Amino acid sequence: MKKWFFIAVIILSSGHMCFADCVDAQKTKIETFLLKHGVVYQKQWIKLGYLDNVQLNVVIVTDQNNSVVAKGLNVKIEGYNGLMTAAWLDTEEIVDLLKALDFMINTAKTWDHKPLADYTEVVFSTTGGFKLGFYGEPKKTIKMNDLKMFVSCDCGEKAPRLLDINHLEEFKTLATNGLALIGRR
């Protein structure tokens, strides 16, 4: 009986620590608004697309006076355990993300058919804990297919979702479409 109680305490404590990490993390403008109490608002979700187990959406938040208060990108990541985590990017962060994706795409191309002496990562991160990047393992000759893209969110499952490196271009297209859509609304 004591053994089961001890295991339950550890499991509950672990879950609480993970939640505490999310609560204490820096928030984007969208998250800050959505966490306000006593506010009536509407969230409009516009699906941009999927990359394996990662979904991108534009989110537009309006208040009870029908005034737009926040716009941005929502990235939902299905973890290997089947649970979903979500990250929010404010409009300015989408612009930074697009610049980072350009840099990553060009960097990955320069690594193609070249030696890589050390394990190397290229990473972009946001205020809300979203991370996107890619990495290469040491090899005498790197090929594009050797590189792996990853996305993660500091809240929830800490293990990044690994994707094919070619999804960098597709992620950029979806984020570009999202930014254009935000500009039209």
* CATH code of the domain containing 51: 3.30.2450.30
Reported confidence tier of residue 3, pLDDT bands at 50, 70, 90:
very low
Q: Which two tokens stand for residue 97?
A: 């993300």
Which H or E run contains 157? none
Biggest CA pair distance of the chain: 61
Alpha-carbon distance of 169 to 102, in angstroms, equals 9
Q: Average pLDDT, whole number, for the chain?
A: 82
Q: Identify the pLDDT of residue 9.
A: 31
> Which amino acid, 132?
L
Q: Please tell me the predicted confidence (pLDDT) of residue 44.
A: 92
Tell me, what's the pLDDT at 157?
59
3-state secondary structure of 33: helix
Total domains present in the chain: 1
- pTM > 0.85: no
**How many percent of the chain have pLDDT more than 70?**
84
pLDDT of residue 16: 28
- The listed range with the strongest mean pLDDT (5-9, 19-23, 27-31) is 27-31
Mean pLDDT across 127-131: 88
Judge contact between 131 and 151, C-beta under 8 A: yes
Domain span holding position 103: 2-184
Which three-class secondary structure string do you get for 57-126?
EEEEEEECCCCEEEEEEEEEEECCCCCEEEEEEEHHHHHHHHHHHHHHHHHHHHHCCCCECCCEEEEEEC
Q: How far is CA 93 from CA 74, 90, 110, 179, in A?
A: 12, 5, 25, 10
The average pLDDT across 144-172 equals 86
156 band by pLDDT with thresholds 50, 70 and 90: low
Q: What is the band of 165 on the pLDDT scale with cuts at 50, 70, 90?
A: very high
